[in-house]
Amino acid sequence: MLESLCVNEETLQETVVVDDQDVDEDIRHIVLDEESFRPQVTACLTLFQPIAGATSKMEEDNALLSDVPKVFHELSNEILAAFQSGSLPHKYKRKKREIFKKKEFSCKPVHSVANLPDPRYKGKHSSKDETLTAIDLINEICSHLHLCREIANVAE
């Protein structure tokens, strides 16, 4: 929808100035503000496209728990690049912390536990702390299930 606003900006502007259209004055002012409208829509697109892409990847039928750290790693890199490139207005920079809090909320130790032995990743998208937490969790599970120590050593 945001992409459509960029593509159809002129048409939208023409629509809000037509007298027979019942368009709220505040909306009319926003749409006609050349210096604000497009940059704000573009900034939203810059932030939301990577988030939408990551969400789609994690909702695919063949998505695995081990994919989650990689998806968040890629998402973090894309968002950091957008902030560092200067393509986002300054007021959006305060949103960066909120976006990264979503990783803490969504990416749990079980994802790192799955990512660590996955031969595609081998834990490379997890931080050192996440990897250590995953190893501790594997050891706890092995202990709880009375599995031999050699299985737990696979994680290390």
Q: Would you list the domain boundaries of the chain? A: 1-33, 42-107, 108-156
Which residues contact residue 54 at a Cβ distance below 8 angstroms, ignoring those fewer than 6 apart?
71, 72, 74, 75
pLDDT in tens, 123-154: 999 889 999 999 999 888 888 887 766 555 55
| Other C-beta atoms lying within 10 Å of the C-beta of residue 92 | 17
- Reply yes or no on whether the pLDDT at 57 is more than 70: yes
Question: Do residues 50 and 78 lie in contact, with contact meaning Cβ atoms separated by under 8 Å?
Answer: yes
Q: How far is CA 27 from the centre of its chain?
A: 29
**CA dist 51 → 21, 79, 99, 105 (Å):** 35, 9, 9, 15
- φ, ψ of residue 70 in degrees (nearest 5): -65, -45
Mean pLDDT, range 56-82, rounded to an integer: 91
| pTM (predicted TM-score) | 0.72
pLDDT in tens, 79-101: 888 888 877 766 776 777 777 77
